[in-house]
Homo-oligomer: A and B are copies of this chain.
Amino acid sequence: MTIERIPVGSDSTVWIGRGLLGDAAKYLHSPSGRFVLFSAANAGAAADAVRHALAGRLFVDETVDDREESKTLATVGRLADAALMGGLRRDDAVVAVGGGVTSDVVGFAAAILLRGVAWNAVPTTTGAMADAAIGGKTGVDHAAGKNLIGAFHPPRAILIDPAAAALLPERDYRAGLVEALKAAWIGDAILAQAAESGLDAILARDEGTLLACLAGAVRVKAGIVSSDLREGDRRRLLNFGHTLGHAIEAAGGFRDLKHGEAVAWGIAAALEISKRRSGLPAAEAERVRRVLARLGPFPPANRDPAVLSPFLARDKKATARGIAGVVLEAVGRARVEEAVPEREWLEAAAIMSLS
């Protein structure tokens, strides 16, 4: 069994490898040796592996409602109740087992319990393995928008075992891969090439090929985050596909499209803008588009300017001159465009294609 160790900044370590969860006790961190387990209801096998590994050291074991609509301050309050009533002390640690919603909510609870206790993330979806928790953004949604309440609180350890994604529904499995490929496209041309070649094996759920793709994506994200721990310029590259993607996700009421699916559409639009603004060769844009198409078919995106415009205007990156976005110069190399006029985003939405 080969376990790879990828540091993120100075506080956080990603451990990644097949069979890792069988040996989870070695990698999960708690100053006191005691743990609180919060796991998504559908993360049963991974949660059981953690339970087994931490036998006798778990003093709270609760499930988390991991639907996007439960990603609220009230849910964080319920987790806090369970941990505090269970006798949480400052040197205890929390373990989150589940997808992106679980790590967002549980990580935020860890951030504010006793003004911050250590936590560990065990992602069980392809999207969470490639993206969530690395970098320490935690938080919940608010009626005014997604992720508007939260904290920076990096997990001490992130344990990625591709076996945890084995039972994932097909649609979730594929949507999550968009985030892994995104990392390759913005930061690692060789990884992008390898993921493209291995895509059939990944879609056939070959664990070794999936592992190589995820490890590459984690290395890209860890490299960016380590050089830019808050919200500086390099970190903004991770938003590739997310400007229009967020608007499309919101236009679907966060129900019609999964996050990764909306990001796929957002990337398709960003490719159009990249051809015009950053000289992305048409052949490279087409190559990226074809890879995304192989992950689909995805539900259609709302392209109506009247619907998308208010969501674009509400973007955190919006200014009077336009909305910042990430463009590709080539596969493996991205940059931030500070002010792309709204009109240009809406035109790209009109012509983007994933077929």
Interface flag for A148 (CB, 8 Å)? yes
Question: Which residues of the partner chain B approach A143 to less than 8 Å between Cβ atoms?
Answer: 81, 84-85
The contact sample of 30 A-B pairs, CB cut-off 8 A, is: A73-B73, A73-B76, A73-B80, A74-B77, A80-B142, A80-B148, A80-B149, A84-B142, A84-B144, A84-B145, A84-B148, A85-B143, A85-B144, A89-B316, A108-B112, A111-B151, A112-B139, A112-B150, A113-B148, A113-B149, A114-B148, A114-B149, A114-B150, A115-B137, A115-B150, A115-B151, A115-B152, A116-B151, A116-B152, A151-B151
Chain A: interface residue count, which band? 20 to 34
In contact, B80 and A151 (Cβ under 8 angstroms): no
* Chain A facing B: main interface SS: mixed
Interface flag for A255 (CB, 8 Å)? no
Nearest chain B residue, comparing its CB with the CB of A150:
B115
Nearest chain B residue, comparing its CB with the CB of A89:
B316
Question: Which residues of the partner chain B approach A90 to less than 8 Å between Cβ atoms?
Answer: 316
A215 to B167, CA, bound (A): 63
A148 to B85, CA, bound (A): 11
A148 to B137, CA, bound (A): 22
Interface residues of A in 103-121 (CB under 8 A from B): 108, 111-116
A116 to B80, CA, bound (A): 20
Question: Which residues of the partner chain B approach A85 to less than 8 Å between Cβ atoms?
Answer: 143-144
